[in-house]
Structure 1
Amino acid sequence: MSKRKGEISREKILSSAEYLFAANGYHGTTVSQIVREAGLTQAAFYLYFKSKEEILDEIFLNFERQLDQFVETGQQLNQHNFSEVEKHLTQTYIGLFQLFGANKNVIKIVFNEGGQGEKLRRRIVNQIHTNMTQNQSLGILKPEINTEVFAELLVASIERIAIRYGIDEDYSPAYLGHSLAGILFQGVLTKNT
């Protein structure tokens, strides 16, 4: 079944806004630029969106929905044998880097747009902190780990790796996921230390 003309126009507007927000920032982009990029008119824009802010909200909401499956993975650790936990989390990190690679413009928007980006980041950190505290009580994580600090460290690490390596495709998502997991689970010190 083919898409209706209205659906195609709406998607063009969203795609154009996503591209321009990533390139110029939300505040540096106008509705006129969005419709010009989409090859549409301002009248068409206002058929589908009330404002530029509504588009930004939708971009964030769509990304949050995709991201939720990865953020909630910590709730599932007790369903795995201890020997499978590292593999499960490694696959989660790989999936995250794949998601980021498939949404390069959205990632740039999320990381660069202060208010909504920070709100999303805070929600993710809080969910990971909650998951880790639960897993700590189940004996999956060491009791001496400060789960709040670790949640911040994990999110900051993933964020920075995605910005530095993932978005520009210096390394594959699999390589990045395995590297992060290796550092988190194996440490960086040699056995001789």
Structure 2
Amino acid sequence: MNERGLKGLESRMRLLEAAAAEFARNGFHETKISTIVKKVGLTQPSFYIYFSSKEAIFEELISEFHSNLKKLIESKRLEDNLEHMDLSNRLAEIVENVFLFLKKDPNLTRIGFSLNPKADDLIADLTIILKNNLTTEQQFGYFRPEIDMEIVAKCISAVILHLSFIYVIPGIKDTKSLSLQLVDLFLQGMLNEND
């Protein structure tokens, strides 16, 4: 790629970052293209070289977020024949990877789940992928066969999303200890084995 192409790519990326920050801060309707371009030192006509409208840049942010999160979850299916301790550690690692993804760009996370008019569809799509992963892992013998993995997937999705907004993104709890606690809760439950 030549220098002009690289500069154009850089300008496009800067516009996406500035737009994400503005949408997350002000919402879709209150965000102005003039504010976005001002933040990155470009002109309004230059915006239209890369994006046809405010809706187009917003949709691209949502689409990219959805696609990347979907790929992450699809790639995290457990392998067969893990020992119990390895199973707990791998599950905690998977949960932590999702927390880290959501924490990496809080603006995109807010847009994807709070401002996205199709957020329910995004959550449903991710829950289906998680359910498929869990069902395969259930077939490996990791989880009790009578448990409905759709319910488990919905619970896990809701908990991870909620904890991300109240603990992870604000930096109140670290992702590793939170992941370990969450996995322990789902695998071991809350009952005290000494009673």
TM-score over 0.5 for the alignment?
Answer: yes
Distance in structure 2 (CA, Å) of the matches to 1:115 and 1:64: 13
Distance in structure 2 (CA, Å) of the matches to 1:85 and 1:141: 11
Residues 1:58 and 2:60 are matched in the alignment: yes
Q: Which amino acid aligns with 1:100?
A: L
SS at match of 1:26: helix
Distance in structure 2 (CA, Å) of the matches to 1:79 and 1:37: 52
Distance in structure 2 (CA, Å) of the matches to 1:55 and 1:80: 43
Over aligned residues, Cα RMSD in angstroms?
Answer: 2.1
Q: Which amino acid aligns with 2:173?
A: Y
The Cα shift of 1:133 comes to 2.1
The Cα shift of 1:82 comes to 4.5
Any idea what the Cα deviations from partners look like across 1:77-122, whole Å, max 9, x if unmatched?
A: 3263444222111101111111122111111111212423222111
SS at match of 2:30: coil
Q: Which residue of 2 aligns with 1:184?
A: 186
CA contact (8 A) 1:74 1:128 kept: no
Correspondent of 1:127 among 117, 126, 129: 129
Distance in structure 2 (CA, Å) of the matches to 1:51 and 1:30: 11
CA contact (8 A) 1:17 1:34 kept: yes
The Cα shift of 1:74 comes to 5.2
Q: Which residue of 1 aligns with 2:73?
A: 71
Please say which of residues 149-158 and 62-71 is displaced more in the overlay.
62-71
Distance in structure 2 (CA, Å) of the matches to 1:115 and 1:8: 28
Tell me: CA distance 1:133–1:13, structure 2 relative to 1, closer, same or farther (3 Å). same
Any idea what the Cα deviations from partners look like across 1:5-51, whole Å, max 9, x if unmatched?
A: 21221112101100011111123212222222222211011000112
Q: Which residue of 2 aligns with 1:166?
A: 168
Tell me: CA distance 1:119–1:100, structure 2 relative to 1, closer, same or farther (3 Å). same
Correspondent of 2:92 among 90, 113, 136: 90
Correspondent of 1:8 among 10, 14, 24: 10
Distance in structure 1 (CA, Å) of the matches to 2:72 and 2:146: 25
Q: Which residue of 1 aligns with 2:148?
A: 146
CA contact (8 A) 2:78 2:137 kept: no
* TM-score, length-scaled by structure 1: 0.89
Structure 2 gap segments, 5+ residues each? none
Structure 1 gap segments, 5+ residues each? none
Distance in structure 2 (CA, Å) of the matches to 1:47 and 1:28: 22
Distance in structure 1 (CA, Å) of the matches to 2:121 and 2:32: 23
Q: Which amino acid aligns with 1:112?
A: S
Q: Which amino acid aligns with 1:31?
A: I
CA contact (8 A) 1:97 1:176 kept: no
Distance in structure 1 (CA, Å) of the matches to 2:122 and 2:26: 21
Q: Which amino acid aligns with 1:118?
A: D
